[in-house]
Structure 1
């Protein structure tokens, strides 16, 4: 209770608390009126309302400890205490001990906001919320730590090839940057920093940077990357905050990322004919492949080629991935632009030009940088036929002057052989190659000179280079068979590349063989209506002239036919049919020069040996390919004029060769025979008549 004594009656006094009852209470700021009436009664009023008691509000205390980047006390940091309405009720600054106190704070909820920090500390954007209530939460202590001002940006590097399309970049470790006060960056940098590890985004961090405008420039680029000579602006504002890099014209750097271009080079490939290296080949399609690597190009494998070492690169075990594709032009060249250093590439042929096979082996290549900073081939696998033999044929070579890869393309080679059934080469066959067109019809194959692929076989196989195409259907046809051989049936073939391709120096050749059989037919000598062969007949086959008569040599001698095997076709029939092989196609005359004993000489037979090996007489094909000549027995006349010896034919007496239509002929014509027989009969009748007459007289 508060008591005031000796107050005058009829007067009004002002009552105000001048000292709070303790640290846990706030001083009551209200001014009360004490009214003393005429009878001496005193009434305490607040705005005309009678007050029976005065209540003190609880007092709260908020203590804040501020530390710096080194975890020591940080002085000079300004804080504001705001109530729930956002009104600032107190402002305090940390002292040398890094502490400040918000005292006599009424119970309630508050926020503590940092508004200023000493250079080179950044004003923290953190907001601390505090609630005061009677009891344990009436006094609260909070701690805050300030960070030094920083200039931070991300370093990235190009990781894709120009030929692969839109450039892509990834965090790049190991770039060294300087922070300068002058825009020319001529003096020594005030701060330096190195881009960190990829897990943290490869940040470049300058810490403890004073407020003001700074300039950033790259000092050293990571291995396999080009130095970025661009100067960037970095502004640390009055609160010690950095809002990202800007260009000198104050345009912001996109995403606060600074990107280094990679050191690159081009893969230049020249495609030539393996058999004719001076001939360039357009239209060959290649793919560029690379393996995904866990390490960046900056962490490439050691450059043993240059005698230096670098961090080892760890590759995953994934398959090669195609990143680009290119096709050789009319000059035989293609180019994969902008390939990276320290990355192993594989060049593989995807599609061969017309007339060529796809190469089996790839060429693997990796580029590095020499001491002069120039891109060079660090390692290359030229796709040797035998990787264990450095002298084995390569898929490609490298031009020592230009560094170009010269790819040796295996051509499609077709070797056409014309042989007999014993695989002996045959000359003299007229051959041609046809190709199936879109409608399924075989048409003549045209060579580069516009002429059809047609030739006469010789003593060696015929070779065609780059004439045929992969997957096309071809047909080897014989127009005219060699002398003494049947016309062979066509041979169809399709040129295909092995699934794995054709290796260097493999000299893959499409072997096509067209085999010919000797012409073969039989000559049978039998009796009329007989089936068994008739031995003893002397027979011969004669060549014919253009008019169908028997051909004669310069001396007028009839020419006996001869087979390609060297046999003269003159023989005596035996118990087996005569087999004739190797007689050239044409028209011939079969003549019996001497008939067996007791048989008449048969009529000559003209027959034709067709190119396909069949034999025809009188335009009709002989059954079984057999030319049949039949003899009939000689007539027994019983007169001295009929000789008892083998019958022979003579070309000087045409009548001697006239036979029946069946091919049967004799030395005496049927009319003569029957005439003689009639005379003999008349004579016999006369003799008999004379004998009978004499007997009657006797």
Structure 2
């Protein structure tokens, strides 16, 4: 409420002076109390014959404001600064200060000014779908780094009221939702409007590409049964490899193990591969390489009668087409071993035929 009170003062000298009125303005109401004088106030303005457009500031921090004003002037009251967290109202209250007679010392006027709080709506969305993203930890800080609000995102946008007009705030993601990447902070300035001020922060997903290749790392091997385990050895995902790399989105940031449960025919099981999903929207590549199964020939040559080992006996190792691969010669223990050879042929990374 704005209360205007006028009290008449009479001329007490023999000079012919214009009659004046004393005006007292009260700013009342919860939203207007306790404000800084330098930042909040109401303008009281009047028009009269003696002085055009004289302006008086009435501050919310003060109890009263008193000015000697001529009777029968036209006046208006309007707010020029709202209290912290509220929007300056554009409403103007006009009145004419009329002389009420010599027996009435005060003339009162009552006005009501309602201040609307500022309203900021902060949304946390999926970069691709644009839908609200629950599970992210967020905070808003002022320009001095003081935390204004903290929350965990839900399927609804987050609303903050009574942020100070003209001040700068920063929205920061302290922990992304599982499977998402930490977004860059957003800085915004609160405007002097009662309309909802909307700001959006978008999160990208993590992306992992897993290749299952031969030992050269150039050819994808189909048929391997693979599993991803998290740090607690819980299965996150399982699949059978194909001729294309396996693509996964939304793996939460952290450490994982890639395990081969079964190797493709003609290949050997590979040891576990550990990898870490990092806080980035770039595709993170993980490779597991399988070596082909190989075999060798082991010979032991002995005398049939005595059973004694025979040294220096030579053997030719040939392939299925009769081509000599190598010559084996027994040692003093009658023992000879060949090199390692493929046990099968492969075509486009697949087992073809046994050798």
Partner secondary structure for residue 489 of structure 1:
coil
User: Gaps spanning 5+ residues in structure 2: where?
Assistant: 303-309, 317-355
Q: Deviations over 1:526-567 (max 9, x none)?
A: 22224343322221111222xxxxx2xxxxxxx311xxxxxx
Is 1:282 equivalent to 2:35 in the alignment?
yes
Aligned equivalent of 1:413, options 119, 131, 144 = 119
Contact 1:267–1:339, Cα closer than 8 Å, also in 2: no
- Name the structure 2 match of 1:630: 289
Contact 2:9–2:22, Cα closer than 8 Å, also in 1: no
- Name the structure 2 match of 1:261: 19
Report the CA distance between 1:444 and its aligned residue: 3.1
- Name the structure 1 match of 2:216: 529
Contact 2:209–2:285, Cα closer than 8 Å, also in 1: yes
Q: Which runs of 4+ in 1 moved over 6 A?
A: 224-227, 370-373, 680-685
Q: TM-score, normalised by structure 2?
A: 0.70
Distance 2:173 2:44 in 1: 46
Aligned pairs (5 A) from 1:219-368: 253=14, 257-263=15-21, 265-273=23-31, 280=33, 282-283=35-36, 284-291=40-47, 321-329=53-61, 333-335=63-65, 337-368=67-98
Distance 1:579 1:373 in 2: 91
Contact 2:122–2:158, Cα closer than 8 Å, also in 1: yes
Partner secondary structure for residue 242 of structure 2:
coil
Report the CA distance between 1:352 and its aligned residue: 2.8
Contact 2:19–2:70, Cα closer than 8 Å, also in 1: no
Report the CA distance between 1:459 and its aligned residue: 3.6
Partner secondary structure for residue 154 of structure 2:
coil
Q: Deviations over 1:1-41 (max 9, x none)?
A: xxxxxxxxxxxxxxxxxxxxxxxxxxxxxxxxxxxxxxxxx
- Name the structure 2 match of 1:444: 146
Aligned equivalent of 2:173, options 466, 470, 478 = 478
Report the CA distance between 1:266 and its aligned residue: 3.4
- Name the structure 2 match of 1:679: 299
Partner secondary structure for residue 329 of structure 1:
coil
**More strand by proportion, 1 or 2?**
2
- Name the structure 1 match of 2:235: 560
Aligned pairs (5 A) from 1:142-161: none
Distance 1:336 1:493 in 2: 40
Change (3 A) 1:338 1:634: same
Distance 2:152 2:201 in 1: 13
Partner secondary structure for residue 299 of structure 2:
helix
- Name the structure 2 match of 1:582: 250
Distance 2:18 2:273 in 1: 99
Aligned equivalent of 2:156, options 460, 463, 467 = 460
Report the CA distance between 1:580 and its aligned residue: 1.0
Distance 1:259 1:600 in 2: 114
Is 1:538 equivalent to 2:206 in the alignment?
no
- Name the structure 2 match of 1:598: 266
Contact 1:268–1:404, Cα closer than 8 Å, also in 2: no
Change (3 A) 1:680 1:495: farther
Report the CA distance between 1:524 and its aligned residue: 1.6
Distance 2:7 2:110 in 1: 23
Q: TM-score, normalised by structure 1?
A: 0.38
Q: Deviations over 1:584-612 (max 9, x none)?
A: 12221111222233322222111122344
Report the CA distance between 1:292 and its aligned residue: 5.7
Distance 1:523 1:688 in 2: 45
Distance 2:112 2:54 in 1: 21
Distance 2:261 2:93 in 1: 78
Distance 2:9 2:58 in 1: 30
Contact 1:484–1:581, Cα closer than 8 Å, also in 2: yes
Report the CA distance between 1:633 and its aligned residue: 2.1
Distance 1:425 1:373 in 2: 68
Instruction: Give the number of aligned pairs.
Output: 302
Distance 1:525 1:376 in 2: 93
**More helix by proportion, 1 or 2?**
1
Q: Deviations over 1:287-333 (max 9, x none)?
A: 2223466xx99xxxxxxxxxxxxxxxxxxxxxx83421121126xx5
Contact 1:268–1:336, Cα closer than 8 Å, also in 2: no
- Name the structure 1 match of 2:342: none
- Name the structure 1 match of 2:184: 489
Distance 2:177 2:55 in 1: 57
Contact 1:481–1:611, Cα closer than 8 Å, also in 2: no
Change (3 A) 1:226 1:433: closer
Report the CA distance between 1:258 and its aligned residue: 0.8
- Name the structure 2 match of 1:180: none
Distance 2:9 2:230 in 1: 94
Partner secondary structure for residue 131 of structure 2:
coil
Distance 1:560 1:288 in 2: 72
The structure whose Rg is larger is 1
- Name the structure 2 match of 1:570: 238
Distance 2:97 2:48 in 1: 16
User: Gaps spanning 5+ residues in structure 1: where?
Assistant: 1-161, 164-223, 231-246, 248-252, 274-278, 298-319, 378-401, 438-442, 448-452, 546-550, 552-558, 562-568, 615-623, 638-675, 690-698
Report the CA distance between 1:472 and its aligned residue: 2.9
